[in-house]
């Protein structure tokens, strides 16, 4: 498996990175997860190998771990979903849904590329090696697909109060953590 193993410093730090933002996926992470869920798809020639209907159904499952997010420059990509939020990742900050008190609930092999490529450092200046340029190249074939889901659901969740309820639930959860 490519990437960097977490260093000793990650044990001390206990996942500051995971408490701020879910790791970014590469398309190969999505396809691995789809195969793991028994959804037929092929690696390699990935473009066109997943339909909108299949991806949407996958993202809408209760156990879904992923969210569509958008960079300032407009690039759509997938990242780990944040606690209390859904598959449209409008929130800038949040704790990854896979983070537990014992650390990441995913095995190293299951972690998205943005997690495997975060090079930890003893001075905690950890450096992301899965760059924005690499992401742009990897996600280019999926822009239309991700954008069409985003453009259907983002206004809907904004208008019907879904995002407000997510915010409230997140703040409640944050308070419950500080109360304990």
| Contact status: 25 vs ligand SF4 (CB under 6 A) | no
| Closer to ligand SF4 by Cβ: residue 51 or 100 | 100
Segment near ligand SF4 (CB under 6 A), from 11-19, 138-146, 149-157, 160-168?
11-19
| Closer to ligand SF4 by Cβ: residue 59 or 80 | 80
Indicate the angle between helix axes 52-59 and 27-36, nearest 10 degrees. Answer: 70
Distances (CA, A) of 40 to 33, 80, 103, 120, 121: 11, 21, 30, 35, 38
The CB-of-55 to ligand SF4 minimum distance in angstroms stands at 19
| Contact status: 16 vs ligand SF4 (CB under 6 A) | yes
- In the list 30, 68, 84, 126, the residue contacting ligand SF4 (rule: CB under 6 A) is 126
| Contact status: 173 vs ligand SF4 (CB under 6 A) | no
DSSP string, 33-92: HHHHTT----SSS-TTSS-HHHHHHHHTSTT--EEEEE-TT--EEEEEPBTT--SB---S
- In the list 34, 78, 99, 149, the residue contacting ligand SF4 (rule: CB under 6 A) is 99
**140: DSSP letter:** G
| Closer to ligand SF4 by Cβ: residue 99 or 146 | 99
| Contact status: 98 vs ligand SF4 (CB under 6 A) | yes
Say how many residues make up the chain.
180
Instruction: Please list, in sequence order, all residues whose beta carbon lies within 8 angstroms of the beta carbon of residue 17, skipping any fewer than 6 positions away.
Output: 23, 118, 126
Give residues in contact with ligand SF4 (CB under 6 A). Answer: 6, 9-10, 13, 15-18, 22-23, 80, 96, 98-99, 104, 106, 111, 115, 118, 120, 124, 126
């Amino acid at each position: 498996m490519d990437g960097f193993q977490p260093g000793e410093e990650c044990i001390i730090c206990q996942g500051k990175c995971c408490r701020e933002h879910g790791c970014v996926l590469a398309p190969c992470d999505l396809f691995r997860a789809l195969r793991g869920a028994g959804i037929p798809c092929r690696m390699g020639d990935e473009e066109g190998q997943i339909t909108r209907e299949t991806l949407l159904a996958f993202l809408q499952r209760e156990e879904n771990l992923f969210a569509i997010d958008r960079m300032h420059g407009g690039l759509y990509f997938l990242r780990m979903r944040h606690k209390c939020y859904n598959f449209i990742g409008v929130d800038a900050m949040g704790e990854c849904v896979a983070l537990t008190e014992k650390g990441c609930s995913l095995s190293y092999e299951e972690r998205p590329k943005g997690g495997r490529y975060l090079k930890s450092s003893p001075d905690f200046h950890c450096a992301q090696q899965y760059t924005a340029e690499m992401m742009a190249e990897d996600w280019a074939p999926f822009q239309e697909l991700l954008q069409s889901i985003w453009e259907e659901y983002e206004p809907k969740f904004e208008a019907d109060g879904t995002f407000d309820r997510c915010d409230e639930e997140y703040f409640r959860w944050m308070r419950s953590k500080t109360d304990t």
